[in-house]
Amino acid sequence: MEAVNSNIFCVLDACSVINLIHIDQDEFLLKKLKHLNIFVSDVVFKEIKFNIFNKLDKLKTKYSVDFDIRQERKIIDVKLSQIRGYQVLNEQIVKELGHDFFNHVKIISDYKKENGEFYSACLALYLTRYHPTKIFFHTDDFPAKNEFDKFFNYQQIGHIEDTSDLLLLLYRLDEKFSLKQLEIALTDLFSEYVSEVVELEKKLKYIESGLTLKFKGDKIFQQKFRALIHSLVVHNFLGIGELKDFFCNNKKYSQISDILDFYPKVFELESSKTDLLKKISDLKKNIKHVYKL
C-alpha cells in the first residue's frame, strides 16, 4: 500500500479495527484515517472478518424481532471495504525478506503463537525497513501488548497504544473533529467494553444461582468461579486470563468455558500496567485539557 502524505505510520490490530467499526457513525472515524499511513496484516484482516459480526448475534438475541441483522451486516460490510485497502500480504513480506523472516521474529520475540498480534508485530518490524520512523501499533488486547512491549523496545520499532490513543490522535490531526465528537467516541468505546463485562457478570451470576450439588461441592471450582465474578464486579481484570484458562482447560466446565469464549473483549482488558476503562474515563474527565492547534 502506498503511503499518504503523513509521517505517522500505524499498524492496527483486529480488536482496534473491530472497536473502531462498531463505534463509528456514518463512517466518520474511518474517513479520518486518511491523515495516517494505516497498515493491517492480511492475517488480522481475516480475524476481523471472522469476529466482526459476533456483536450482531448478541444484539439479535437481546432485541429479537426489533433488530434487523441483515441491514446491520450490510453497514459493517461497507465499513470493512475501507479497511481492506490497508492490507499488507504476508507473501509480499516473504518475497522481500525471505521465508525465514517470521521464524526469526518468533525467536527474537520469544512469542510462540501465530496469531494476529504476532503478524502485526512482524508487519511493524517490516515497515521499519523502508520507513525511518517510529511505528505505532494499536491494539486493545492488553495481554498481547504486555508480551510485545520488550520486543518493540529492543528493536526500536515504536510504540504500542490502544484505540483511545488512536481516537485522540485523529482528533488532534483533524480540524473538523470536534471535542464533542471525541467525547462521544470515547463514551462509545467505553460502552463497548463495559456492556460486555456487565453481560458476562449477569450470566455467571445466573449460573451461580442454579449450580448443581456437584459443582457446589467442588471447592476449587467455587473458589475460581467466585474470583472471576468478583473481578467483573470490581473491574479488576488482573488474573482473569488465568481464571479463564482454568475453566477452558477442563472439559467438565465446558458450560462455563463456552460462555467465556463468547466474551473475548473482557479478557483483552487484563493488564498489570494499564486499566483501559479507567484510562478512557480519565481521558473524558480531562478532555478539555487536550490542546488542539
The pLDDT assigned to 3 comes to 46
**Statement to judge: residues 167 and 209 lie in one domain:** no
Domain around 207: 179-267
The C-alpha angle 20, 21, 24, rounded to 5 degrees, equals: 80
CATH number, domain with residue 73 = 3.40.50.1010
**Statement to judge: residues 30 and 75 lie in one domain:** yes
Boundary residue ending a domain (127, 142, 173): 173
**Statement to judge: residues 168 and 189 lie in one domain:** no
Q: Looking at the 3D structure of the chain, how many domains does it have? A: 2
In a domain, 111, yes or no: yes
Distance CA 116, CA 127 (A): 16
Distance CA 48, CA 254 (A): 26
The pLDDT assigned to 6 comes to 75
SS (H, E, C) 172-201: HHCCCCCHHHHHHHHHHHHHHHHHHHHHHH
In a domain, 279, yes or no: no
155 SS3 class: coil
In a domain, 272, yes or no: no
Boundary residue ending a domain (110, 139, 173): 173
The pLDDT assigned to 2 comes to 46
Rounded to whole angstroms, what are the CA distances from 250 to 132, 182, 245?
A: 48, 43, 8
**Statement to judge: residues 168 and 190 lie in one domain:** no
Burial class (CB in 10 A: 0-12, 13-18, 19+), 62: exposed
In a domain, 280, yes or no: no
Residues 204-229 have pLDDT tens digits of: 999 888 888 778 888 999 999 999 99
Residues of the chain with pLDDT under 50: 1-3
In a domain, 293, yes or no: no
The pLDDT assigned to 65 comes to 54
Q: Strand 135-138 and strand 9-12: pairing?
A: parallel
**Statement to judge: residues 193 and 218 lie in one domain:** yes
In a domain, 278, yes or no: no
**Statement to judge: residues 106 and 221 lie in one domain:** no
**Statement to judge: residues 115 and 161 lie in one domain:** yes
The pLDDT assigned to 4 comes to 53
The pLDDT assigned to 96 comes to 93
**Statement to judge: residues 160 and 197 lie in one domain:** no
Residues 65-99 have pLDDT tens digits of: 555 777 888 889 999 999 999 999 999 999 999 98
**Statement to judge: residues 205 and 98 lie in one domain:** no
In a domain, 47, yes or no: yes
In a domain, 284, yes or no: no
Distance CA 145, CA 217 (A): 38
Boundary residue ending a domain (151, 173, 195): 173
**Statement to judge: residues 92 and 129 lie in one domain:** yes
**Statement to judge: residues 19 and 163 lie in one domain:** yes
**Statement to judge: residues 136 and 197 lie in one domain:** no
Among 247, 210, 245, 252, smallest CA distance to 225 is for 247
